[in-house]
Each structure stands twice: as C-alpha cells, then as structure tokens.
Amino acid sequence: MPAFPQLLTPLSDGSIALRPAAERDIPEILIAYQDDPELHLRMGTPRPPTAAELGRRAERAEHDRLAGRGVSLTIVEPPQDICVGQIDVHRVDWENSRAELGVWVAAGRRGRGVARRALGLAGPWLLRQAGLERLELLTQPDNEPLQRSARSAGFQLEGVLHGYFRAFEGLPRRLVRGPGERVDMAVLSLVRRDLRG
C-alpha cells in the first residue's frame, strides 16, 4: 500500500492552515466534544472519544500514515497553532484509489467558512499529492451546513444512501425512527478530474 505523503509545510490559504494532527491537539478536541453534545453523533460514534483514545490515536498516527491506512489533519487559524477542527482521512481503498473524509469544526468557529476552506485545501492535496482519485464525504441528510461547505469546496452531492448503517443508541429522533432502524447518509464526492488548474 502507498504511504500518505509527509506534510512538511502546512497547507494554507492565508486564513486557515492544515497541519498533521498532534498530541498537543487533544485538549481542544476534548473541549470541542464538550461544547457540542452531538458532535460524536455527527462523526458516527456512539460516544465522544476519551483522552486515552485520542492519545493512542496520536501515537499510531505516523504508522498509519506510512502504512497508507489514513491521516488526520488539524485545522488552525494562523498565526495561532490551536486546533479549531480536523479532517480525518479513513476507509482508504488503494485498489480503487479512494478514501472517505470526516470533518469537524469547533462550535465557536462555525459559520465562518472554516470547513469550506479546509476541504478546499485537503481535497486537491489528497488527489494530487497523495495519489487518490476519489474522495467521499458522508453526512446526515439534515446536515445542511456541512453539505453547503463541501459543495462550495467543489464536492458534488451524489444523493442519499438509504439505510447506510445500523443506528446506535443516542442518535437524535430526527435521524432514526426506532431501535433496529438504519440511518440514511448523504454522500458527496470530489474526484481528480473535477479539480481546476
């Protein structure tokens, strides 16, 4: 499997920057999950991550990058180097040159174009430098802010994957009708041929 390239210089558009995720991001990540009680649900997990889980993730990040299993990028607002969100590249399928992205932005930084800018930086880098051909972003059909951000960054809404995954306890009633139900997900994509320039 190919390795993800090492990001030696942060990707930046002058307003935000992406750098490799680091252990020093853990306090801000924990605060983000405290500030938004539904963030873990939007990220597809039944509960927020613990500090220990985030620590283990940070410890294996370089190994996962080299093995081509995934990479996490932290969103910062220069000149500050404080985590205000992240882009997680996972479910990598090198045989088909595609990967899934997860993105979150801290509650206090939403509505200012941070997700759009971050996706606009990460997408081309992953498609041009990392060698992927297709990126997918899955989100709940009612997550209009994220869908707008992704579309503004060049992603195309492909539709809704009906019953995409089994519901877990704690999902809001608007997303699931009852126990044993399956949850729909909207899918957006960015492919290399869609890049400009």
CB count in 10 Å sphere of residue 79: 6
Distance CA 11, CA 8 (A): 9
| Residue of 56, 131, 143, 51 lying closest to 105 (CA atoms) | 143
| Residue of 180, 161, 158, 162 lying closest to 171 (CA atoms) | 180
Model confidence, pTM:
0.92
Q: What is the pLDDT of residue 41?
A: 83
The DSSP annotation for 39-103 comes to: HHHHTT-SSPPPHHHHHHHHHHHHHHHHHTS-EEEEEE-TT-----EEEEEEEEEGGGTEEEEEE
Residues of the chain with pLDDT under 70: 168-180, 197
The DSSP annotation for 106-166 comes to: -GGGTTSSHHHHHHHHHHHIIIIIS--SEEEEEE-TT-HHHHHHHHHTT-EEEEEEEEEEE
Q: What is the pLDDT of residue 132?
A: 97
Q: What is the pLDDT of residue 49?
A: 95
| Residue of 81, 154, 85 lying closest to 120 (CA atoms) | 154
Burial class (CB in 10 A: 0-12, 13-18, 19+), 188: buried
Q: What is the pLDDT of residue 181?
A: 79
Q: Into which CATH architecture does domain 11-194 fall? A: 3-Layer(aba) Sandwich (3.40)
Q: What is the pLDDT of residue 10?
A: 97
pLDDT digits (tens, 9 = 90+) for 12-70: 999 999 999 999 999 999 999 999 998 988 888 888 999 999 999 999 999 999 999 99
Q: What is the pLDDT of residue 123?
A: 97
Q: What is the pLDDT of residue 175?
A: 58
